[in-house]
Amino acid sequence: MQKQGDKKKLRPKQEQNRPGKESKLKPESITTPMQQVNKLLGKVALITGGDSGNCTTLGNRKPREYFI
């Protein structure tokens, strides 16, 4: 049985770069802005099923993004 202070190092600690580089990311968007069609201009949108995921997301965002 070894004493607590007599631990041997098996190999040196490995040094590796972390995967991915945030500095290489380009902040500009690759999509073009959507053109407004105004199909629902002046109408009311009723969002139902607020606990089902998609409707919750729609309710939390600006209605203009989806309905105008």
- Tell me, yes or no, whether 51 lies in a domain: yes
**Per the structure, how many domains does the chain have?**
1
CA 52-31-37 angle, 5° bins: 70
Give CA–CA dist 24/17, Å, rounded: 15
Q: What is the pLDDT of residue 34?
A: 72
- Tell me, yes or no, whether 37 lies in a domain: yes
Q: Residue 49 is part of which domain span?
A: 33-68
- Tell me, yes or no, whether 1 lies in a domain: no
Q: What is the pLDDT of residue 50?
A: 58
Q: Quick: pLDDT tens for 3-62.
A: 666 777 788 888 877 777 766 767 666 777 777 777 778 888 777 765 655 555 555 555
- Tell me, yes or no, whether 14 lies in a domain: no
Query: Tokens representing 54?
Result: 């998609």
- Tell me, yes or no, whether 3 lies in a domain: no
Whether residue 58 contacts residue 67, with contact meaning beta carbons closer than 8 Å, is answered with no
- Tell me, yes or no, whether 4 lies in a domain: no
Give CA–CA dist 30/65, Å, rounded: 18
23 DSSP assignment: G
